[in-house]
Amino acid sequence: MTISVIAKSQDTFEVVVSTQSTTTHLVTVSDAIHTQLTNGNISKETLLEKSFEFLLEREPNTTILSQFKIEVISQYFPDYVGAAGKW
């Protein structure tokens, strides 16, 4: 499995996940939510890599939304915010 993160703008990133099938996801990470989740301890790109690792432990890449704001993850997985704070 590979996860690649490509910055499209300051807040928008393309995440490509390659497993048995390859999926592409457009994810928004605002400065405010980045600071809230990580206290600025890791980059947005690292946050996205770790967030996708988190998601892939819980569901296949083919069921991850194709476009979303990073904070939506906690609506599906309440333990996400606590996990992100430890990265």
DSSP E strand boundaries for 1-42: 2-7, 12-18, 22-28
* CA–CA gap between residue 12 and residue 85 (Å, rounded): 21
Mean model confidence pLDDT for the chain = 97
Q: Which residues contact 53 (CB under 8 A, 6 or more apart)?
A: 3
What mean pLDDT is predicted for residues 52-77?
A: 97
Task: Provide the pairing of β-strand 67-69 with 2-7.
Answer: unpaired
pTM: 0.96
The band of 59, judged by pLDDT with boundaries at 50, 70 and 90, is very high
pLDDT tens-place string over residues 10-47? 999 999 999 999 999 999 999 999 999 999 999 999 99
Residue 35 neighbours by CB distance under 10 Å: 11
Residue 36, pLDDT score:
96
* CA–CA gap between residue 1 and residue 10 (Å, rounded): 26
Whether 31 and 25 have beta carbons less than 8 Å apart is answered as no
Residue 27, pLDDT score:
98
The band of 63, judged by pLDDT with boundaries at 50, 70 and 90, is very high
Residue 8, pLDDT score:
98
